[in-house]
């Protein structure tokens, strides 16, 4: 019995689907002609196995394939590689879903702190959490620190760097992160979590994490599809991690499987995704399934907090809380920055709306 089960949507003629499914099972495991495999271990344990083929429409089939946990080595990047690495290059295949045994899930770790840990860090046992972003890219550390203080004074729980903030010369990581952390502390506003954006190759990433550690940062923002789900998995051992979906939509991978399940499995304590009705086109159903994948009981892993975002507005708070319930973090960035009332007042109104919506139910 293979520990890892993967469901692909394959588009092909009915007469071809058996062969196509077998080819997919080989592509995503040993990637060589099975008849040339000498090792009994590989034949018995490693070659992918076609478990089921279901009709999913005209010329479309859902193919369920069993893969070995051994093939992943318990490493997040290699799991993604085995799920869809080579078959991503075949346009007739979509990755729909995957599941794994409870012991296999434990190998990847899931969120180390998850929703309870995040609520503890913020001393908010219940109710929706609020989040906003430091932007725009091109601002100086002092400008960003000022904005962080205004958002924090307005009561925002979690203040993240825009995912466009990296290590640019206008606000290098080593200047930006201390500037924001110290400004918040000086103003007595460090009840909130400041979440700097980290990324880059291994040396750069470790240098950034060292600075974050020294400044007392407890949570970081990472885009796993840019910096690697392997990096997510490692960093989650030390920091709370907020996953960003950059590049995650380019994949022919169902968003609930990627942004919900895979990011959670590899340690995202909270996961950002484009809410329906914003600048992106995810449907209500897709958003509900992402939130479900992030929060539903799953092999004893901690839950990952859903963070709907992407062009949201305080006017939508009530509707979003009805849709997602209170185990959610609402992320509103640009709308606060553009408010004629000023950032602090706009943040206050947003936070107030989130609390009021929680109380009214």
Quick one: which of 19, 52, 55, 73 contacts a copy of itself (CB under 8 A)?
Answer: 73
H-helix or E-strand spanning residue 54? strand 49-55
Binding of residue 77 to a copy of itself (CB under 8 A): yes
Q: Smallest distance from the beta carbon of 127 to a copy of itself, in angstroms?
A: 27
Quick one: which of 86, 214, 284, 285 contacts a copy of itself (CB under 8 A)?
Answer: 86
Binding of residue 68 to a copy of itself (CB under 8 A): yes
Quick one: which of 53, 121, 137, 345 contacts a copy of itself (CB under 8 A)?
Answer: 137
Nearer to a copy of itself, 115 or 130 (CB): 130
DSSP 253: B
Binding-residue pattern over the window 88 to 127 for a copy of itself, x denoting contact by CB under 8 A: xxxxx-----------------------------------
Q: Are 118 and 154 in contact (CB under 8 A)?
A: no
Q: Count of CB atoms within 10 A of residue 292's CB?
A: 14
Q: Smallest distance from the beta carbon of 42 to a copy of itself, in angstroms?
A: 4
Contacts (CB under 8 A) with a copy of itself, residues 199-258: 199-206, 223, 225-235, 245-253
Residue 131 in 3-state DSSP?
strand
Residue 10: C-alpha distances to residues 21, 64, 95, 255, 337 (Å): 8, 10, 9, 17, 44
Residue 182 in 3-state DSSP?
helix
Q: Are 101 and 3 in contact (CB under 8 A)?
A: yes
Contacts (CB under 8 A) with a copy of itself, residues 292-351: 310, 333-334, 337-338
Q: At what angle do helices 343-359 and 141-153 cross, to 10 degrees?
A: 40
Q: Smallest distance from the beta carbon of 359 to a copy of itself, in angstroms?
A: 30
Residue 188: C-alpha distances to residues 112, 121, 181, 184 (Å): 28, 16, 11, 6
- Distance CA(290)–CA(178), nearest Å, equals 34
Q: Smallest distance from the beta carbon of 143 to a copy of itself, in angstroms?
A: 7
Q: Smallest distance from the beta carbon of 354 to a copy of itself, in angstroms?
A: 21
Binding-residue pattern over the window 19 to 48 for a copy of itself, x denoting contact by CB under 8 A: ----x---x-xxxxx-xxx-x-xx--xxx-
Number of residues in contact with a copy of itself, rule: CB under 8 A?
89
């Amino acid at each position: 019995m293979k520990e890892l089960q993967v469901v692909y949507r394959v588009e092909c003629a009915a007469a071809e689907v058996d062969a196509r499914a077998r080819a997919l099972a080989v592509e995503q495991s040993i990637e060589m002609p099975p008849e040339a495999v000498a090792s009994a271990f590989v034949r018995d344990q490693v070659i992918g196995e076609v478990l089921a083929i279901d009709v999913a429409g005209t010329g479309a089939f859902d193919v369920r394939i069993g893969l070995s946990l051994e093939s992943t080595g318990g490493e997040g990047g290699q799991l993604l590689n085995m799920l869809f690495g080579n078959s991503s290059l075949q346009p007739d295949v979509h990755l729909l879903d995957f599941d794994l045994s409870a012991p296999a899930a434990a190998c990847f770790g899931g969120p180390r702190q998850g929703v309870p840990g995040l609520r503890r860090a913020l001393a908010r046992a219940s109710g929706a959490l609020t989040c906003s972003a430091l932007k725009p890219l091109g601002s100086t550390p002092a400008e960003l620190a000022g904005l962080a203080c205004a958002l924090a004074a307005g009561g925002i729980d979690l203040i993240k760097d825009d995912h466009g903030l990296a290590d640019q010369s206008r606000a290098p990581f080593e200047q930006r992160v201390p500037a924001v952390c110290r400004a918040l502390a000086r103003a007595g506003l460090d009840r909130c979590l400041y979440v700097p954006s980290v990324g880059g190759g291994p040396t750069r990433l470790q240098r950034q994490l060292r600075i974050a550690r020294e400044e007392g940062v407890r949570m970081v923002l990472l885009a796993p599809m840019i910096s690697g789900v392997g990096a997510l998995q490692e960093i989650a051992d030390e920091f709370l991690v907020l996953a960003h979906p950059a590049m995650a939509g380019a994949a022919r991978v169902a968003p609930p499987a990627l942004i919900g399940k895979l990011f959670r499995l590899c340690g995202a304590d909270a996961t950002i995704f484009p809410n329906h009705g914003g600048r992106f086109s995810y449907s209500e159903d897709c958003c509900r399934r992402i939130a479900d994948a992030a929060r539903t009981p799953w092999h004893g892993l901690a839950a990952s907090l859903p963070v709907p975002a992407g062009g949201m507005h305080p006017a939508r708070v009530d509707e979003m809380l009805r849709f997602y319930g209170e185990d959610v973090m609402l992320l509103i960035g640009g709308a606060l920055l553009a408010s004629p009332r000023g950032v602090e007042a706009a943040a206050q109104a947003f936070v107030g709306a989130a609390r009021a919506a929680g109380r009214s139910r």
